[in-house]
Amino acid sequence: SSAPTLPGISTSAVPAATMTVQLRPGWNLISDPYAGNIPLSAVLVKRGSDAPVSWQQAAAGKWVVNALYSYDGNDWGGTYSFAAAGGEPDAVLVPWIGYWLYLNRDDASYALIVPQPAL
């Protein structure tokens, strides 16, 4: 808060093969950390120290709600959107868009493992 300017922003692609995003119980605001689209069905969910499971398995186990919610501000039409993995349309994380997702559980730590998209 004492800096006279904001830090610089990098638009370069994240070099890591995966990014881990910690989740908290309830609503979580996430975004695509890469420069390409990522199908929600490619995202894994990790519970505690257990092996990661697919998004679809996490949704079937009621860890997460199988949905991504987003809002395009008034400058972009003021529309809300909802998409699910395996739905019509299939949910896709698009760079530069924020998404809300809901974590149902509070029995352990949870994280998303987001794979780098094939470019």
Rg (C-alpha) for the chain, rounded Å, is: 15
Q: What is the pTM of this model?
A: 0.82
Residue 86 pLDDT: 87
Q: Which residues of 30-65 are buried (b: 16+ CB within 10 A; e: fewer)?
A: bebbbeeebebebbbbbbeeeebbebbebbeeebbb
Q: Which residues of the chain have a pLDDT value below 50?
A: 11
Q: Given this model, what pLDDT does residue 58 score?
A: 97
64 residue type, one letter:
V
Q: How many CB atoms lie within 10 A of CB 86?
A: 14
| Residue 2 CA from chain centroid, whole number | 32
Q: What is the pLDDT, as a whole number, of residue 16?
A: 86
